[in-house]
Amino acid sequence: MRRRTALTLACAAIAATTLDPRALFGSIEDQRARLPPAADSDAGADCSDPAAGVWLGQQYNPRSRSWQRYELNVQRASPGSNELTGEVRVHFWSGWHSHSTPLMDCSRPHLSAEVIQRATGTFDGAQLAFGGHDWRVSRIFCQPPGTRISYNPDHFSGALDTTTQEFQSVNNDGGSAVNEPVVFRRVRCPETSAQRAVVVVAPTVPQVVPRAEGRRSLFGCSR
């Protein structure tokens, strides 16, 4: 009876992680605690557009025993449009749950790399969808011999909370990621025109070159 009860509980736990990925990937509060503060419009940035800007999220995947740090760079395809464009940057590294920051020492065999995805999406004022179409390796920090980097483009969708500047999404990549929860926080708003760097090109001052003396005068000839 005890053994049957233990097996029943084990099966229930497996079913729970299969039906509810949040049981596998941790709570939203756990993910939220790792994120920097939300963007501050008082700092001079223009946060009037609730979707545009840079969004960060970080997730631990116990199945692959790896971390993923997502960065969404979101902008409007055109002013006032619901269509979005931009890119998704992902820095992923292998490690245990305690390795929430990338290991800098490659002497311990682990994979650490960054990929970039061209991305598009939509925002209707409440629901945000943003995902990649392709991917390329941007940087490889550590790569054990014989390993190969492969990746499925991420597709995030969910509700955007404009008051907290948080995007509570699920990720579906067409592969192993099925409704994996990832919470994002907007950490940077688009720059205003006053913030954009202005390159001032100083006028070129013509250099005055002394007129060369004649060859005859140079050699002390009178004529």
Buried b (16+ CB within 10 A) or exposed e, 196-219: eeeeeeeeeeeeeeeeeeeeeeee
This prediction has a pTM of: 0.76
Distance CA 162, CA 185 (A): 10
pLDDT tops 60 at residue 54? yes
Confidence (pLDDT) at 26: 65
Task: List the domain boundaries for the chain.
Answer: 21-193
Q: What is the pLDDT of residue 194?
A: 54
Segment among 37-51, 133-147, 174-188 with least mean pLDDT: 37-51
Q: Report pLDDT for 104.
A: 82
- Predicted confidence (pLDDT) at residue 193 exceeds the cutoff of 60: no
CATH topology of domain 21-193: Lipocalin (2.40.128)
